[in-house]
Amino acid sequence: MPVAMWDFKHCDPKRCSGVKLARCDMLKTLKLTQRFRGIVASPIGEKVVSPADRKVVELYGAGVVDCSWARVDEVPFSKIKGPTDRLLPYLVATNPVNYGKPWKLNCAEALAAIFYITGYPEHGEALLGKFKWGHAFKKVNGGLLSRYSKCKDAAEVLEVQNEYLKKLEEDERIKKEESLAQQDGDSEDDDLLFKNHNRDNAFTAFADDTDDSEEDSDEEDSDEDSEGEENSGDEEKNDDSIDLITDNLGNTYIRNH
C-alpha cells in the first residue's frame, strides 16, 4: 500500500521517524504541491479515522505531515489538504521524544495507527518494526486500537474515545480522593504520635530529670572524692560527718550530723 509524507524539515533528520522510513523505502516523500488520495493524518481533518476508511486505505494508502508539534502553526495545511484528511483519536505516544504524552504521535506512530484502525495491523507493525521502541506502541495502546478497529464509523470511534477519557477522568478523581484520604490518615497518625504536647512535655521533663540527676550525681561523687583526698588527714580531727541522701526522683541532698 502507498505510504506518503510531506516533510517540512522541522526536526533532526537523525531522529525523525518519517525520514528513517523514507531511507528504508517504506514511504514516499511528497512535495508541497503534490496531492495524495489516501487517508492523511492531519490536524485540520473534520472526522477521525475509522474502519469506514478501510477501502480508501486499501486503494490509496496512508499519509502524514512531518512537522514539529511546537511549530504546527507554521504548516500551510491548506496547500496540502487532501480529500480524505483525518484526525487521530486518543492514543498515547511511545516514541523517545514524547513518551507517555497523549496525542503527540510521531510520523511512524500516526501511520501505524491508521493501519491498525482500518484493519491492516500487519502494515502498522511493519512500520513500527523499524524502531527499537516500536513494539511499545501496541503494548500501550493495544486495547484502544482493538476497540477502535471494531467500530463501524467515525461516530463510534469518538464514542469509544470519549468513554475512555471519561473513565480516565474518573480513575484520576478516585486516585486523588484516595491520596487525600491517605494524607489525612497519616496526619491523624502524626497527631497521635507526635503532636501530643502534654505527653511530650511529660516525657521531656522525665528525661531531663533523669539526665540532671545523673550529671549531679557524677559531680557530687567527684566532689566527694576530691574532698576525701584533700581532707583525709583531717578526718581524725573532724568530729562532724556528712551523709549524702538521694530521693526517689534522683535528687541528691547533703545532711550534716
Residue 193 assigned ligand-binding role = no
Length of the chain: 257
Instruction: Please say whether the beta carbons of 21 and 3 come within 8 A.
Output: yes
Instruction: Please say whether the beta carbons of 82 and 36 come within 8 A.
Output: yes
Residue 88 assigned ligand-binding role = yes
Query: Residue 254 pairs with which residues in a beta bridge?
Result: 244
Instruction: Please say whether the beta carbons of 58 and 95 come within 8 A.
Output: no
CB-CB neighbours of 209 under 10 Å: 13
Residue 49 assigned ligand-binding role = no
Instruction: Please say whether the beta carbons of 249 and 213 come within 8 A.
Output: yes
d(CA 163, CA 46): 20
Residue 17 assigned ligand-binding role = yes
Binding residues: 17, 65, 88, 103
Q: Residues annotated as binding site for S-adenosyl-L-methionine? A: 17, 65, 88, 103
